Structure 1
């Protein structure tokens, strides 16, 4: 004769006393602690044969009908060979992934983790790569689903205007994906496969610019320089026909952005007169972006060691030109 399972009545649940354990059948129990708090607990056998218990909630918020439904759901999983403990951990992991799982969120975590050990300029460059090269296309994509196929067109697009920058973008993409794997936000072993994704860039010097038709080549070469400060400084030289030494020392109080003018005091010029240089439209958004990065530095192009007291050295621009084959 089959065993009759008698479930707890509403009165029995209500009158259960501290320290009592009331059986509701098939491993479901009402446990009352020493203070009279009542909670539902299910005892069961895991697929590997081990006995286990799991809480189903307080009786104040989980009435008997709900506790029984939860217990039945667990029993059904056990019949299918699903371990409730493993299943719960998997569900929690999926929820964590959903909350943290976009490329932008993970990349920001990676940046915060790495920036603690970076020099100021390295952090600046990385921040720029995230904001300008990666987030516009990848920000909202789930980190678990991003593949090499998603990244390659982005890299080629960057490579077309800035070959050296594309190499750094590839490096950071690989690091962000590795970080996601380490954090359990992406399947183990699902690294990117981007080796050979970028064309080889020939080394050497650019030919001297002697006619206007050569200017696009020069602009493209400047755009390939990693540092936004170096890029903008060289473009200021190019657009305003100013000497590198004067551009390196450019101060915010010399700029009249609204009027698109650069007022250079006589003391910084070889002449004995103040000089006003028009600022072309192309420079305005670049200068506005630098203003947002300047902090308290009075210099448009601050020095890395002491941005409050020093600007970049005038020879640094010439060095950058040499390193990038531009002179």
Structure 2
């Protein structure tokens, strides 16, 4: 090993031969067989001799190499291993570079998907892909600040902002658990959203409004959307589930729709009895999609393989029901009007809606489906709506239909 001598000069480094040439205080340049000139520093920590690498000459000048060596010696005086400090700094930089918000959000969604209903996953993916990831595409979850998160939330519609805030918090927690963010470094997002008045989903419940709605749906010119709205209205199922109805789930002869657990918010499979009017609407869809997977085909320019649920909302807006009745409002209409006007028992209505049991004991032991009662109830409901549309005051009449 070459002996430590006086300070190096740029010319001396440029002309240095194979071997090590010292500058002082442990700093030296090592000339390799390939001609590279690499800055190194030897030091001792905890009784062991170690090495630091500072880059290659001339990319790293003599002055810069000496500055790096001085900083390393300062760490040693404070009892810190400069090699370990450098390794941690490099690892932190890699974590930041590999922890972009869109990437971590995608990984979080993938982790959550197996335990979620399809509709729950769809909502979360929609909010993240449409709003959060575009707004935070340049941010790392490792360094994401409350201010940055709050700015991203500010650009989200109020109806979705609260959901987005919850997703942000969960994604940050996930990042902490994965070692991508420091322990305990949570976002403080309470109060960043303006307080919004809580209200029920708009639903037609007055008989005059219900009559107008039933007639508007019956007269809607697009057959696919009209049929889907009809099924949603007659079965009181969630609009997203209706839009994604598959032929394999439907038995038209038996008048039943078997929704698999993966599509249900409650994570329990749900049997939906179909009134004759719903069966008739579904038979009309066979001309469009018989032999295919989904009952309701996607409309022009829709990217989904089936009818998009937004097509139902758009149809209601076009019919003049914006702010008066939403697609989800068919459930509220059924729950209110069928109870008040047809005296259908609450338990039967709740079973048809597939509402989750609120009481833990009910969740564990009550699996009553009231299938026979619900079959009678939905047929009574469909006949009642037919009667309203016919403008006879809602008096239920028996309607004879040809088989098929």
What TM-score does the superposition give when structure 2 sets the normalisation length?
0.42
- Cα distance in 1 for partners of 2:73, 2:144 equals 33
Following superposition of structure 1 onto structure 2, how do residues 13-52 of structure 1 map, counting pairs within 5 Å? 14-17=15-18, 20-46=19-45, 48=46, 50-52=48-50
Q: Deviations over 1:11-44 (max 9, x none)?
A: 4652412xx2222211112223344443221012
- Residues 40/146 of structure 1: CA separation in 2 closer, same or farther (3 Å cut): closer
Structure 1: gaps of 5 or more residues:
216-235, 251-266, 275-285, 303-316
Q: Give the match for residue 181 of structure 2.
A: 186
- Cα distance in 1 for partners of 2:121, 2:98 equals 22
Q: How big is the shift at 1:129?
A: 2.9
- Cα distance in 1 for partners of 2:140, 2:206 equals 45
Deviates more, 1:108-117 or 1:170-179: 108-117
Given that 1:6 and 1:25 are in contact with CA atoms closer than 8 Å, whether structure 2 keeps it comes out as yes
Structure 2: gaps of 5 or more residues:
213-224, 234-238, 245-279, 288-297, 310-328, 335-352, 357-380, 382-404
- Cα distance in 1 for partners of 2:355, 2:89 equals 51
- Residues 147/241 of structure 1: CA separation in 2 closer, same or farther (3 Å cut): same
Aligned counterpart for 2:108 among listed residues 107, 110, 124: 110
Q: Give the match for residue 78 of structure 1.
A: 76
Following superposition of structure 1 onto structure 2, how do residues 273-312 of structure 1 map, counting pairs within 5 Å? 291-292=302-303, 294=304, 297=305, 299-300=306-307
Q: How big is the shift at 1:82?
A: 4.4
Q: Secondary structure at the match of 1:6?
A: coil
Q: Give the match for residue 7 of structure 1.
A: 7
Given that 1:42 and 1:55 are in contact with CA atoms closer than 8 Å, whether structure 2 keeps it comes out as yes
- Cα distance in 2 for partners of 1:113, 1:39 equals 45
Given that 1:148 and 1:193 are in contact with CA atoms closer than 8 Å, whether structure 2 keeps it comes out as no
- Residues 190/210 of structure 1: CA separation in 2 closer, same or farther (3 Å cut): farther
Q: Give the match for residue 53 of structure 1.
A: 51
- Cα distance in 2 for partners of 1:211, 1:136 equals 44
Q: How big is the shift at 1:120?
A: 6.0
Given that 1:40 and 1:67 are in contact with CA atoms closer than 8 Å, whether structure 2 keeps it comes out as yes
- Residues 28/120 of structure 1: CA separation in 2 closer, same or farther (3 Å cut): same
Pairs aligned (count): 246
- Cα distance in 2 for partners of 1:245, 1:108 equals 32
Please give the root-mean-square deviation of Cα atoms over the aligned residues, in Å: 5.6
- Cα distance in 1 for partners of 2:103, 2:74 equals 36
